[in-house]
Structure 1
Amino acid sequence: MKDIEILSGAFEKIRAYIQENQNDSQPVVKFKSPEELKEVFDFKVGENGVSENEFLELLDKYLEYSVRTGNKQFLNQLYSGFNFPAFIGEVFSVLANTSMYTYEVAPVATVIETEMISLMNSYAGYSDGDGIFVSGGSNANLIAMFSARNRIFPDSRFEGYDRNNKLVAFVNEQAHYSFETAANILGIGAKNVIKVKADKNGKLISSELEKEIAKAISRGEKPFFAVATCATTLLGAYDPIEEMAEICKKHNIWLHADGSFGGSLILSDKNRYLMKGIEQTDSFAWNPHKLMNIPLICSALLVKKRGTLQHNITDINTDYIFHDIDAIEDLGKKSIQCGRKVDAVKLWFAWKYFGLEGYQKRIDNLIDMAVYAENIVNENPQLELLSERNSFAVCFRYIPKNESDLNKFNLELRESLRKSGKSIVNYGYIGKTLAIRLITANGELQKSDIDLFFANLLFEVEKLENAIFNA
């Protein structure tokens, strides 16, 4: 009875929280320092449990002081927004509490994941493709590199990697750090991930890739893996897949598309030209928890050739778990995880709810909102666009009237805005220039939300400039 009463109270808090996210006046975060949080919460676990009321109070406090990533002023990360059908899917999959290794324990979820992988492969143009849901884009990138190593040196699955083979990989100089981590884990070594020069907008230069491959071969190294980034973390740039595919084919190099950030653009008929040639890649990392607004984590690795993933696994003769008695593939046979969370189900619920056309409109809207934000920056003489907008990221800075250190001012501006709780955006460096980075990742964004962000930003500007003037 106690659990049912707590559940009733918890769902009332969820309902209120969802409603509050639609309210522009709600702060994105009630910022407190770590020490201040320790004054609000008793984080230590005691000998005895807490009462029903104390438990519900803890739920209140957790939500009150967490960042509201569903708030439309959360423009900080590569993910944002609240997706109701996906949230319900998450709740029900946790309620069922199963694991994805066999059909026996996850019958409905296994069929759903198989269907989702098939649908995602159809967008990628992998007619005989395969795939698996994984624990994030970094994990997808690791398995892609793992698969490439096993293709070029099949015996490495059993014998290990021979360093005398001198494998080298190639990525955009602005690619995600996970590729260096993957090379470290696989024993290839992070220094053997060669960073290829990008143009001023962050897009890998194909001729530079060709040069780096030639240099590696001349050093006696073995090129085996290259990455086309589909939306870089800071600038949202898309690498030239078609040009890279031609080069990789010539040198028998596995080409992986890292769409961890921008892979969902593939859903858009109007904008998917940025991923032209995706069907020529060997693998594709796609994170629906980014631009499709599925609750974290929801990531998939797609591979062009069926059987690739199962080939990675050295021993699946485990008759205590895999019985081969049902007329469907046990997904655990192609996963490096045994216990694996049910992540495809929440994506399925959301896709069923919005439909193929509905999701296409949501992705197109994200580009439209980025274009709108870019236009606001260009029309304000005090705002400077620091890089041509590629996709969902708008990088800019404010030019103050009486301040020579622009990096210092813009960092203070970003921090002042973040701690105000009104809006949150991130920042990064383009060369030595600090850029405020606005990301349009929430599928429900409207022009009024972008207007409100810039109004909040300029309000903080006025406060800072007045403080400087009066100092």
Structure 2
Amino acid sequence: MKESDILSEALVKIKNYIAANKDQDAPIVKFRTPADLDKIIHFTVDTAGVSENEFLDLLDKYLEYSVHTGNKQFLNQLYSGFNFPAFIGEIFSTLANTSMYTYEVAPVATSIEKEMIALMNSYTGYSDGDGIFVTGGSNANLIAMFSARNRILPDSRFEGYDRKVKLKAFVNEQAHYSFDTAANVLGIGSKNVVKVKSDVTGKMIPAELEKNILETIARNEKPFFVAATCATTLLGAYDPLDEIAAICKKYKLWLHADGSFGGSLILSDQYKALMKGIERTDSFAWNPHKLMNIPLICSALLVKKRGTLQHNITDINADYIFHDIDEIEDLGKKSIQCGRKVDAVKLWFAWKYFGLKNYQKRIDNLINMAIYAAKKISDHPQLEMLVPRQSFAVCFRYVPKFKTDLNQFNLDLREQLRKSGKSIVNYGYIRKSLAIRLVITNGELLEADMDLFFKNLLDAANNLESKCQLELEIH
């Protein structure tokens, strides 16, 4: 079999997989334990390799037992959905197989990335801004903290960080764990990341932030960085940027907005008020691979001041890569990576395909579907909202008609639903209560899709409730 024949067969498999994403009767996952998968797929790499037919069979099995994240009943993570033009862009960028460090090897991709950064900055209000595509929101948060450290301690780029200077960073107590990791990597130490108290809806309390800053100053410590979260992971809460920005200006602190989850809301004229004050921040993490449904990974860090990112990098002595000819910009000079995938390309293809207005409609639809889901919950006597909906996340639980451990019941309910393959949804804890966390991240969701989710959930809940009642009667 020739490579062209294998390619033809593979394209048929791709077409069938895309079609299966739209089949509501097809399972999202054929759940198997790791031991079961070992029996189905031969994972060991053999000395002699495999035949063409065996190779095609491996492709079938990979797709058959992977989670269908493009299915509209995949409501489990902060990414979902299938974005056709972005998928095509991913194929073509992989086909060209270039890297983003120089214009010389990636002329079209370099121009595309610069255009995407300029477009994204037009929404933030960074009139003299800059940016770079990175390997995810965690990496964007790291570089933001890195930039803030270099601003307050410019010599640290060359001399290192003096531990006698106690740098302090401040984040929402419900912020992503990546800020602890960033402080660890930068030598600041995760214990120097102060967790600021949030209110019952998950938003950082500005008065608590200022109180924490004053406490560190009183201890002769050095506050330098504040991260506001634009949609917390569990509740989808947006920190009040305007109020936090005023505090950061007062104490001359770097303000970073972590929009890794909810940053794409900035595209919406109808709902972007949740991000009021974004233009007052110093940096912004934005993951199009979440609410814009771009295939993983597609993530950018935007900065307010041009030159910030290149300033982070110590003197580059690499004339074997950077030649400084033709008055062009080599993006590698402002990236902590050398080899870097052309992730901006798939975003560009998708944005070109849908256009600015249609992408705005996709984001608006996400909030509208979350509002619809919240109403479905409030209208059902056995569904209980645990916290009012903030944005794209809806946290609730099922309350059976008999007295039982609600946390265990809802955990069992979620597991039964997940393993059935009909719908997949995640969970988390709000204080001590387990909440089923429904996240609305697929821009193509319709009310009918939400109706099907709740039907699947309630069917599973009724089955579990009947089983539990029977066990109670026996005992």
Tell me the TM-score normalized by structure 1. 0.99
Q: What SS is found at the alignment partner of 1:351?
A: helix
Residue of structure 1 in register with 2:368 after alignment: 368
Q: What displacement does 1:327 show?
A: 2.9
Are the counterparts in 2 of residues 289 and 295 from structure 1 also a CA contact under 8 Å?
yes
Residue of structure 2 in register with 1:145 after alignment: 145
CA deviation vs aligned residue, 1:111-169 (integer Å, no higher than 9, x gap): 00000000000100000000000000000000000000000000000000111110000
Residue of structure 1 in register with 2:446 after alignment: 446
Q: What SS is found at the alignment partner of 2:58?
A: helix
| Matching residue's letter, 2:157 | R
Are the counterparts in 2 of residues 403 and 409 from structure 1 also a CA contact under 8 Å?
no
Structure 2 residue 89 is matched with structure 1 residue 89? yes
Residue of structure 2 in register with 1:242 after alignment: 242
Residue of structure 1 in register with 2:103 after alignment: 103
Distance 2:351 2:110 in 1: 17
CA deviation vs aligned residue, 1:4-50 (integer Å, no higher than 9, x gap): 11111000000011011111101111100000000100000001111
Give the CA RMSD over aligned residues: 0.6
CA deviation vs aligned residue, 1:156-204 (integer Å, no higher than 9, x gap): 0000011111000000000000000000000000000000000000000
Residue of structure 2 in register with 1:38 after alignment: 38
| Matching residue's letter, 2:2 | K
Residue of structure 1 in register with 2:10 after alignment: 10
Distance 1:218 1:414 in 2: 47
CA deviation vs aligned residue, 1:323-354 (integer Å, no higher than 9, x gap): 01133210000000000001000000000000
Q: What SS is found at the alignment partner of 1:184?
A: helix
Distance 1:219 1:449 in 2: 54
Distance 1:438 1:404 in 2: 23
Residue of structure 2 in register with 1:194 after alignment: 194
CA deviation vs aligned residue, 1:375-430 (integer Å, no higher than 9, x gap): 00000010000001000000000001124200000000000000000000000000
Q: Provide structure 2 residue ranges, at least 5 long, that are not aligned to the other structure.
A: none
Residue of structure 1 in register with 2:332 after alignment: 332
| Matching residue's letter, 2:462 | E
Distance 2:29 2:369 in 1: 23
Distance 1:93 1:315 in 2: 30
Q: What SS is found at the alignment partner of 1:164?
A: coil
Q: What SS is found at the alignment partner of 1:165?
A: coil
Residue of structure 1 in register with 2:410 after alignment: 410
| Matching residue's letter, 1:404 | T
Distance 2:195 2:439 in 1: 25
Residue of structure 1 in register with 2:298 after alignment: 298
Q: What displacement does 1:463 show?
A: 1.2
CA deviation vs aligned residue, 1:234-268 (integer Å, no higher than 9, x gap): 00000000000000001010000000000000000
Residue of structure 2 in register with 1:172 after alignment: 172
Q: What SS is found at the alignment partner of 1:327?
A: coil
Q: Provide structure 1 residue ranges, at least 5 long, that are not aligned to the other structure.
A: none
In percent, how many aligned pairs have the same letter? 75
Q: What SS is found at the alignment partner of 1:8?
A: helix
Residue of structure 2 in register with 1:66 after alignment: 66
Q: What SS is found at the alignment partner of 1:228?
A: strand
Q: What SS is found at the alignment partner of 1:163?
A: coil
Residue of structure 2 in register with 1:277 after alignment: 277
Q: What SS is found at the alignment partner of 1:14?
A: helix
Q: What displacement does 1:51 show?
A: 1.0
